[in-house]
């Protein structure tokens, strides 16, 4: 309930505008976001990403944004992603570019998102880079999967995220194994109706592990994207992370010590980095998915 309320606050544009108008509030909240967001600019993401690669991590990079309802802004977002891909390519930074399809047009019309994605996939392919589509709320699952399948006919460097919490996902996964792109498995960040979704529970963890096992047995490229110890204990015990096509993936700023430990144990770890001025919404997502993060946020607000 708490998590749901925070998301409602996050989406309340009046509250957002209020924070942005007050330079003092803006400074305070931004201090808290800094733990999770590399900065406002592309250069911030690229520079932190470069440092992490030097330390032996893999990286994903996202220009933050979602649910864009203005066509011009969708095109600007696509242009920013293209510029990011070019910069990573020019600097030989082996980044995976992550994004929401609703940031580049899905909330206006699927064809716009598809055309923008095709352009990004082409640019990424020319630099030997890959893209990863995030999964959004269940009302968008079908259009997102449809666009993924369509673009996969031309590009194998585009992957897709699946949410273990949705009942439909085992079936979706079995179908998507016939497509070339990498698959990222997450538990799911959206509150969904109980007839289509399993909430956080042992049952959900079992399903998550089942999905991972299906991918591993199929020899399909997979990111195990979770911060959960219980999940990692199991995937390590079962030897899943020792396969060359399997990796762990965690969000920047969350459990960095654990990321380091996995890396030092010789396991492949990808860190998901974000940048952009929409840090406010991203901060609320992080607090909403794990409310104890509010303590670190308050500490950061007071101490910075
Ligand atoms: P949970 O079951 O939520 O938590 C289990 C335990 O993990 C907690 O008790 C705590 O010990 C630890 N933990 C979990 N979260 C945190 C945290 N924020 N800070 C500190 N400790 C924590 N969701 C989508 O719906 N669509 C996406 O496209 C998507 N992409 C993602 C990409 C990556 C790389 C990652 C890591 C997550 C992504 N998510 C996405 C979010 C995901 O669905 C979950 O909401 C999020 O990962 C929390 O679930 P969990 O598996 O970590 O474990």
Compute and round to an integer the Cα radius of gyration of the chain. Answer: 18
The more confident residue out of 299 and 99 is 99
The more confident residue out of 300 and 183 is 183
| Numbers of helices and strands, H then E, in the chain | 13, 8
Give the pLDDT band (50/70/90) at residue 125.
very high
Q: What is the pLDDT of residue 1?
A: 46
Closest residue CA from atom 51 of ligand 1: 226
List residues forming the annotated binding site for FAD.
135, 163, 187-189, 226-227
Query: What mean pLDDT value characterizes the chain?
Result: 91
Gap between the Cα atoms of 168 and 227, Å rounded: 23
List the beta bridge partners of residue 131.
97, 158
- Which CATH fold topology does 38-275 show? TIM Barrel (3.20.20)
pTM value is 0.92
List residues forming the annotated binding site.
135, 163, 187-189, 226-227
Ligand 1 atom with the smallest distance to the CA of 272 is: 34
Q: pLDDT by residue (tens digit) across 72-91?
A: 999 999 999 999 999 999 99
pLDDT higher than 60, residue 93: yes
Domain ranges of the chain: 38-275
Q: pLDDT by residue (tens digit) across 184-242?
A: 999 999 999 999 999 999 999 999 999 999 999 999 999 999 999 999 999 999 999 99
Q: What is the pLDDT of residue 286?
A: 80
Residue 138 host element (H or E) = none
Question: In degrees to the nearest 10, what's the CA dihedral of 27, 32, 34, 40?
Answer: -40
Cβ atoms within 10 Å, residue 148: 21
Assigned token pair, 128: 């030997």
Closest residue CA from atom 47 of ligand 1: 226
Gap between the Cα atoms of 155 and 159, Å rounded: 10
Q: pLDDT by residue (tens digit) across 2-55?
A: 455 555 555 555 556 666 666 666 766 777 788 899 999 999 999 999 999 999
Tokens 């392919």, residue located? 125
Gap between the Cα atoms of 99 and 70, Å rounded: 17
CB 126 within 8 A of CB 119: no
Ligand 1 atom with the smallest distance to the CA of 228 is: 7
* Contact residues of ligand 1, CB 6 A cut-off: 134-135, 161, 163, 186-190, 200, 225-228, 249-251, 254-255, 272, 286, 289-290, 293
Q: Ligand 1: which of 290, 293, 294 to mutate, judged by most atoms within 8 Å of the beta carbon?
A: 290
Ligand 1 atom with the smallest distance to the CA of 60 is: 34
Helix, strand or coil, per DSSP, at residue 165: coil
187 Cα: distance to centroid of ligand 1 (angstroms): 7
- Phi, psi dihedral angles at 252 (to 5 degrees): -55, 130
């Amino acid at each position: 309930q708490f998590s749901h309320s925070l998301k409602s606050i996050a989406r309340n544009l009046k509250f957002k505008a209020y924070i942005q108008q007050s330079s003092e509030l803006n400074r305070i909240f931004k201090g808290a976001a800094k733990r999770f967001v590399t900065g406002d600019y592309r250069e911030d993401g690229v520079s932190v990403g470069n440092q992490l690669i030097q330390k032996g991590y893999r990286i994903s990079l996202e220009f933050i944004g979602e649910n864009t309802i203005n066509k011009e802004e969708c095109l600007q977002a696509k242009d920013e992603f293209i510029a990011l891909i070019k910069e990573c390519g020019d600097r030989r930074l082996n980044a995976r570019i992550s994004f929401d399809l609703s940031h580049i047009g899905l909330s206006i019309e699927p064809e716009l998102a598809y055309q923008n994605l095709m352009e990004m996939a082409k640019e990424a392919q020319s630099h030997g880079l890959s893209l990863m589509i995030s999964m959004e709320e269940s009302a968008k699952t079908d259009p997102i999967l449809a666009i993924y399948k369509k673009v996969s006919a031309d590009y194998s460097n585009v992957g897709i995220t699946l949410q273990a919490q949705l009942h439909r996902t085992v079936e979706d996964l079995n179908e998507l194994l016939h497509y070339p792109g990498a698959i990222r498995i997450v538990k799911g960040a959206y509150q969904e109706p109980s007839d289509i979704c399993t909430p956080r529970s042992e049952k959900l963890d079992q399903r998550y592990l089942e999905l991972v096992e299906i991918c591993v047995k199929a020899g399909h490229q997979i990111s195990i994207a979770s911060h959960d110890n219980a999940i990692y204990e199991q995937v390590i015990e079962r030897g899943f992370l020792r396969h060359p096509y399997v990796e762990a993936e965690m969000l920047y700023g969350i459990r960095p010590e654990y990321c380091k430990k996995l890396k030092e144990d010789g396991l492949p770890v990808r860190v998901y980095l974000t940048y952009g001025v929409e840090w406010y919404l991203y901060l609320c997502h992080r607090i909403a998915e794990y409310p104890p993060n509010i303590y670190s946020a308050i500490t950061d607000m007071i101490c910075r």
